[in-house]
């Protein structure tokens, strides 16, 4: 929670929106929102990207490379921060998150590499993204084990996981 508070303070000092930070740091805005609200612990790689992004932005804001007066605000929404550490694995392994609290429908967030998305929209009309049952059940298991998951989210995830466990044995029959 202390880190989340410091991160919120950094956003205020930079004049940057949470949505912009989520874009620059490649972290789902839903997950970042829950982290800042204290109901979710982000993965180490996400924390690393957030810390690196904020560090880079502070360096840009205070650095000598700025051409104009340092008092001029930066339009972070137009900013692209290049960070070599965030460039690497481009394979499309399932990475996602559920939020059961936003409204009556669960929200599933899925991370998709842009190259994969480009291939999808360039391909024929019969193409689609496929998210398997095992990927969804695995994700629910991760959420239930997360000690920082909110009680509401955990309760729904657990009930769904129970449903999967109860039905799983005979489902393929």
Partner 1 sequence: MTDNFAFTGDFRFTEKDCWLEFRIPMRVLKSLINGPSSQHLQVERHEIIGLLRIVAANPNTSESDLTIVRDLLKRA
What residues line the site for partner 1 (CB under 8 A)? 19-20, 22-26, 28-30, 77-82, 86-87, 90, 103-114, 116-118, 120-134, 136-137, 140, 160, 163-164, 167-168, 171-172
- The residue (of 13 and 129) whose beta carbon lies closer to partner 1 is 129
Place of tokens 């599933």: 108
Minimum separation from the CB atom of position 77 to partner 1 (A) = 4
Minimum separation from the CB atom of position 38 to partner 1 (A) = 21
Residue 135 backbone dihedrals phi, psi, to 5 degrees: -65, -40
How many whole angstroms separate alpha carbon 8 and alpha carbon 13?
9
- The residue (of 28 and 39) whose beta carbon lies closer to partner 1 is 28
Task: Give 73's DSSP letter.
Answer: P
- The residue (of 1 and 127) whose beta carbon lies closer to partner 1 is 127
Minimum separation from the CB atom of position 25 to partner 1 (A) = 8
How many whole angstroms separate alpha carbon 61 and alpha carbon 57?
6
- The residue (of 71 and 82) whose beta carbon lies closer to partner 1 is 82
Note whether 126 and 112 are within 8 A (CB).
no
Minimum separation from the CB atom of position 2 to partner 1 (A) = 26
Minimum separation from the CB atom of position 72 to partner 1 (A) = 18
Note whether 109 and 96 are within 8 A (CB).
yes
H-helix or E-strand spanning residue 98: strand 96-99
Residues whose CB is less than 8 angstroms from the CB of residue 150 and which lie 6 or more positions away in sequence, other chains included: 34, 39, 40, 101
Q: Residue 94 has which token pair? A: 């399932």
Minimum separation from the CB atom of position 4 to partner 1 (A) = 19
- The residue (of 10 and 23) whose beta carbon lies closer to partner 1 is 23
How many whole angstroms separate alpha carbon 36 and alpha carbon 7?
8
């Amino acid at each position: 929670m202390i880190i989340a508070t410091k991160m919120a303070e950094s956003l205020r000092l930079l004049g940057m929106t949470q949505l912009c930070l989520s874009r620059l740091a490649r972290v789902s805005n839903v997950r970042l929102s829950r982290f800042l609200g204290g109901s979710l612990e982000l993965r180490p790689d996400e924390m690393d990207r957030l810390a690196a992004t904020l560090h880079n932005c502070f360096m840009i804001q205070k650095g000598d490379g700025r051409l104009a007066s340092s008092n001029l605000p930066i339009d972070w929404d137009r900013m692209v921060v290049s960070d070599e550490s965030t460039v690497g694995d481009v394979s499309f392994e399932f990475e996602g998150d559920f939020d059961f609290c936003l409204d009556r429908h669960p929200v599933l967030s899925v991370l998709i590499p842009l190259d994969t998305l480009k291939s999808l929209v360039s391909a024929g009309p019969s193409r689609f993204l496929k998210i398997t049952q095992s990927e969804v059940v695995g994700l629910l298991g991760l959420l239930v084990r997360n000690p920082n998951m909110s009680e509401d989210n955990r309760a729904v995830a657990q009930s769904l996981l129970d449903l999967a466990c109860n039905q799983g044995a005979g489902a393929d029959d």
